[in-house]
Amino acid sequence: DGTNEETVQDVLDGEKIREIRRGIDANGYAAPGEPPDPAYRLEEVRLRELRVHDATTTGSGTEAIQIRRYDAATVLRYAYAFRELPPIEVLRVDGESLVVDGFHRRRAAEWLGLETLRAWVKDGTYEEALDRAVMANLRHGRPFRGDDLHAVILRLRRLHPEMTGRKVATMV
């Protein structure tokens, strides 16, 4: 289920990357749509400033924001349609820009060699980042399975103790 980086790189050869980037440069991006909530502002953020907290990048005792691994097919699909994709969602927590929705879009931008990426940005807390990430995946991500599903259920129960087991089950 993890990203096969070589597969993405093989398909996105240099000429295809240049073609996609020329389309972005010439035509810009599609309209960004509405922000996730009114507190967000649309910004161009530098890719190198974005932090992805997954199981491989978190320190001990820090819960990963991104639960599942990258999917190569999704990264590839997003790279081809990049200029039509909505902005990613970023929470600024203690000076760090944390990706909470748009992990695959960020990876596609990386593969395309882009330096900046459109993002809906607002200040928030780490707990809010954890919550927004899991909610975004439940809204439009692939269904969770196995260990990922177990991690999502535990996170929801911890972040939303007011939710009944039945409510959590209907969400996942």
Half-sphere exposure of 38 (CA within 13 A, CB side): 0
Please, which residues have CB within 8 angstroms of residue 126's CB and are 6 or more apart in sequence? 93, 94, 98
SS3 content of the chain, % helix, strand, coil (to 5): 45, 15, 35
Gap between the Cα atoms of 115 and 108, Å rounded: 12
Element (H, E) at 24: helix 14-27
- In order along its 172 residues, the chain shows pLDDT tens digits of 444 555 565 666 777 788 888 888 777 787 788 888 899 999 999 999 988 765 444 444 455 566 556 788 888 889 989 989 999 999 999 988 999 889 889 999 998 989 999 999 999 988 888 888 877 777 776 666 777 777 777 777 777 678 788 877 777 6
Q: Cα dihedral angle (46, 127, 142, 85), rounded to 10 degrees?
A: -30
Gap between the Cα atoms of 5 and 9, Å rounded: 6
- Give the Cα-Cα-Cα angle 110, 136, 71 (nearest 5 degrees): 45
Using a 10 angstrom Cβ sphere, with 0-12 exposed, 13-18 middle and 19 or more buried, the burial of residue 102 is: buried
Q: Cα dihedral angle (162, 136, 71, 63), rounded to 10 degrees?
A: -50
The model carries a pTM of: 0.75
